[in-house]
């Protein structure tokens, strides 16, 4: 493995959206890209090693060397194509909250893989299938990385040949609202609360709701409340995030399609019109015991982008 001279002086800028996975019944399958973006600048430098500068979320907390998750994703991609990674300078501008169920780790992985794709432009061709494979290898499951890569609403599944996805456009009436608490939640802890098996009737329940949710999101937003019912994961995790669970129950009792965002503890409201979001924000402001930030976001339809900025 030797350093490719074509890499000298190259630099790229990457933008990756936040995501919300599961969306209620679509456990480990459905994901939605949201218009809240981490940005990354990567430059090849003459000296070996990786130098990382972090601004915003994670500043002073996340690693600033080769162990940084973004740097690991770049290295993983270079290694996959058997190309030596050059010395790099990374400047990360982060706004996606960490440990809140908004896909921050998936966004970091996708940022690194997209940066590698841009740096390797003209040297190797990395297509959409490869991007999803590389990201899933690092993340472990494709439900967050698929919408981060491709935008919109994604259905992700795995095959013997690797992960696959289908991107769908969301009805213009769907208005996402994410409530973000001050406290974080470990995805590993959330997953550990899942049972190994579930009752047959619960599995059938979620199959029907997942199918209905696709119809609600792309065609019939008035069905979102019924379509976001879940019996596979949220109830098992409720004890680990009691206020999230209490607020979701309150919102749903008031006719609002509220679910846990990803592994939590943030909660996602899939409003059927912008006015519903204001109602939801007022309910949470009046009923919450701790501070929650209300993010009224659009659906991102573009996904991750990379732009060559040098050489």
Residues in binding site: 97-107
Q: What is the dihedral of CA 294, 108, 42, 56, to 10 degrees?
A: 30
Q: How far is CA 289 from CA 40, 244, 283, in A?
A: 35, 11, 12
Residue 146 and residue 162: Cα distance in Å, rounded? 13
Give the residue numbers of the binding site for ATP.
Answer: 97-107
DSSP calls for 89-139: EEEEEE-SPTTSSS-HHHHHHHHHHHHHHHHTTTTS---HHHHHHHHHHHH
Q: Are 89 and 43 in contact (CB under 8 A)?
A: yes
User: Quick one: which of 24, 37, 29 has its CA closest to 154?
Assistant: 29
Run of H or E residues at 19: strand 11-21
Residue 165 and residue 152: Cα distance in Å, rounded? 12
DSSP assigned state of 301: S
Residue 181 and residue 291: Cα distance in Å, rounded? 6
Q: Are 137 and 163 in contact (CB under 8 A)?
A: no
Residue 105 and residue 114: Cα distance in Å, rounded? 14
Residue 254 and residue 251: Cα distance in Å, rounded? 5
Q: What is the dihedral of CA 271, 182, 72, 10, to 10 degrees?
A: 70
Q: Are 34 and 71 in contact (CB under 8 A)?
A: no
């Amino acid at each position: 493995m030797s350093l490719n001279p074509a890499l000298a002086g190259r630099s790229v800028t990457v933008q990756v959206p936040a995501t919300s996975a599961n969306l209620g019944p679509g456990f480990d399958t459905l994901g939605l890209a949201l218009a809240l973006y981490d940005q990354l600048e990567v430059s090849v430098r003459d000296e070996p090693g990786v130098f990382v500068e972090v601004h915003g979320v994670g500043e002073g907390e996340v690693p600033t060397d080769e162990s940084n998750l973004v740097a690991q994703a770049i290295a993983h991609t270079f290694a996959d194509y058997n190309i030596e990674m050059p010395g790099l300078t990374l400047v990360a501008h982060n706004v996606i909250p960490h440990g809140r169920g908004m896909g921050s780790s998936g966004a970091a992985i996708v940022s690194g893989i997209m940066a590698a794709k841009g740096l390797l432009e003209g040297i190797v061709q990395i297509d959409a299938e490869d991007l999803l494979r590389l990201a899933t290898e690092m993340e472990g499951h494709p439900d967050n990385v698929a919408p981060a890569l491709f935008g919109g609403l994604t259905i992700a599944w795995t095959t013997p040949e690797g992960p696959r996805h289908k991107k769908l456009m969301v009805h213009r009436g769907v208005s996402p609202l994410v409530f973000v608490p001050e406290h974080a939640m470990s995805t590993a802890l959330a997953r550990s609360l899942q049972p190994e098996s579930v009752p047959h009737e619960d599995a059938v329940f979620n199959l029907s709701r997942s199918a209905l949710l696709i119809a609600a999101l792309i065609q019939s937003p008035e069905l979102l409340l019924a379509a976001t019912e879940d019996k596979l994961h949220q109830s098992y995790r409720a004890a680990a995030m009691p206020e999230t669970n209490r607020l979701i129950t309150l919102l749903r009792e008031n006719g609002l399609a509220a679910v846990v965002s990803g592994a939590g503890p943030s909660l996602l409201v899939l409003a059927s019109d912008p006015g519903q979001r204001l109602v939801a924000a007022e309910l949470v402001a009046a009923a919450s015991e701790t501070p929650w930030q209300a993010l009224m976001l659009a659906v991102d339809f573009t996904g991750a982008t990379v732009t060559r900025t040098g050489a």
